[in-house]
Amino acid sequence: MSPHLPPVSPSVTAQLVAALTPRLRKRLDAGVAKVAGRPVVRDGDIVRIAVDDDTDLELHAPGGVVTSAGAIRCGCLLAPDCLHRAAAASAAPVAEPTDPAVGEPRPTDPQRESPQVSTSVSASAVLPAPAPVTADEPVPESATPAQCTAAAALHEAAAAVLEAGVEGAGAVLQAELLRAAHTARLAGLPRAAGRAVAVVTALRAARDHDPAHRLGDLTAALRDVLVLTHRLPVATGPELAGLRGTVRRPYTPDGSLRLYGLFAEPVLTTTGYAGTVTWTADAAGRLYTVPDVAPGGVERATGSADRAVRIGDTSLTPRELSRAGLAVSGATVSPTGRLGAGAGVRAVRAPGVSWHAEPLDRLWSVPVAEQISRALAGDLDAPKAKDTDGTHRTHHTRNTHDTGERTARGGRDRRDGEGGRDGQDLLFLDVTLIGTVREAAGECLLADCDGLTVRLAAAHDDPALPHRENLRLLALLASARGARLRVIARLTPAPLPRTLLLAASRPTDPAAHVDLGLDRLRRADLPTERRSDTPATPATPAAPATPAAPVTPATPGRPVPRDGPRSVPTVHPATDADEAPVHLLRRRVHQAASGGRRVLAFPGSRQSEVALLRRHGLGTAGELLTALHATAAERTRDPFGRLLPADIGRFATAWLGAAVYTEEVDRALCAAAWGADPPGLASR
């Protein structure tokens, strides 16, 4: 996937690939690689690709998106039925006409939304529960025949992708999935269509070896598509409405608002969107967002923080708004808390307050366990999330990131602030930095939060964003235990207490804060007595120096001693042995999404893994693992003894059961690690 090409509508890619002859389809993947490596020249809304010395491709993208097959033109002799047009569409990012958290278009402000304020996009990692039905929307009794047919076709296309794995799911299978997604959207299934597009986006990132690719994103998107299409034919009433998604979620009047800037975070998605989302809160603690996200790359993500966004009669940059306030009259708000900027909105700049002053201080007064329960319930209970925007999810957004999510990689998703987030997965924590620990994705901070050892990880790994650099500087504070910070983070469901760090109080001035994805900390921002040229001791097994008093190593999920010598604790990285053995099943779920059915068809140590799961009381996990391997290896023969194609439908069903089970167990383990009430199991 070339980030230099404009996003292309899914229906355009499906149409161009379908028009190819069987011979050209076999050459499509090679054509995609060739087009992706050719020089690109942008001239306004036209993007030109020099295929060779005699052939040029043109992509006409008014508004930044290619929306018709005729907008891709080729100068070769075989045009318009040439390979080049289909290859260009397959190499370009997939356009996101929807809010990927729920598969819906961005909310529409009835008073004409300002063109400067556009929807943010993310990738959700967890399927939200059914969305609520608006008062003016009739409740369907059952799915229509067209919806059932579209769901079956989408389920079959997703199962084919799962059967093939990343390497086998080339441009042709991707186009088949996009075609099924387009048909589903036309049949009134925008939610499933949006998640199918997320599958294609994740596949392209994986095949291009994009550093931003996460196998969990692909696994979650595949699971979501299969869940939605599996449940839809038998669903009725409000459940069906939630599974379908909503085509339009308009802004609604919300009267007068007094808002206080909270923080801002960058958005950088794999679907070609970038920008900034600014979070604000009202006097009651309800969260509102002001997004400025549009087609673009990392340059837009870093530059939009200082780009003025017009709201009513005033304009503020995200950096300014995150520290100031707004007085708004005639406000219009989307169901996820996004502020409209229509002609009837009036707004003036107002003073902001620090995180330690009312009304923002009340966000940190909510007990941590209650915040965790809210965040986990927000992913499972979409009606609650959308009815209580301000006290959080997207996700999304979910989800984001669960920012298609996804905000600067932090979201699910989800998420992809993943575009549709309403803030329920945000955590407001007072922490004491105590050390660092090395994970597979890099080093993260360890902090004491109400007696729990919490991991604070970077929200995005792109070197153009300052997340990782800021985390390294904050690690210097951890070298002197007792450094306290007030932070905003996004929950990462995991067996250990873990979050993605988004913003923190400034170490030298607790009344100010730093947006860790936009602002760059300097050594001068660290307290003089805590400044050091050597970062905190990494968390690797080592013999600690003999202390004046015993030092207890920090153990994830357990209280950290508050007295004793001020030295960085030695922390051993978590291993599979430290986790619940459900990781054995999760590993196979991810292997199937990556390598396809054949990876699980080979003989292996399945019996020992099943026995281990059963010894730990996870009998259901053992049965699911057995079924997963059995359906992967299952092949029948025709009357002449020839092997028949594998039943990919049976394998997809077995894989889906294992994927949903591990998702639910992970959430229960996450709640237990934080000392929160376990979330209710989502209705599947």
pTM of the model as a whole: 0.76
Q: Calculate the CA dihedral of residues 172, 175, 177, 180 and round it to 10 degrees.
A: -130
pLDDT of residue 422: 66
pLDDT at 480: 63
CA torsion sign for 493, 498, 504, 505 is positive
The whole-angstrom separation of Cα 454 and Cα 451 is 9
**pLDDT value of residue 395:** 31
161 Cβ contact list (under 8 Å, min separation 6): 169, 173, 174, 177, 199, 203, 222
Q: Which helix (H) or strand (E) holds 295?
A: strand 287-295
* Per-residue pLDDT, 25: 93
pLDDT at residue 549, as a whole number? 33
Nearest Cα neighbor of 598 from 642, 641, 634, 626 is 634
In order along the chain (684 residues), what is the average pLDDT of each group of 10 residues?
81 93 93 89 90 88 89 89 92 69 41 35 34 47 92 96 94 95 94 94 90 87 96 91 78 88 90 87 92 86 89 87 92 85 85 95 94 80 31 30 32 36 85 88 88 92 90 82 88 88 91 93 75 43 35 38 38 46 91 93 80 89 92 84 84 95 90 83 40
Question: β-pairing, 452-458 with 498-506?
Answer: parallel
* Distant-in-sequence contacts of 29-33, Cβ < 8 A, 24+ apart: 29/170, 29/171, 29/172, 31/83, 31/84, 31/86, 31/87, 32/87, 32/90, 32/91, 32/171
User: Which of 301, 306, 300, 544 is closest to 409 using CA atoms?
Assistant: 301
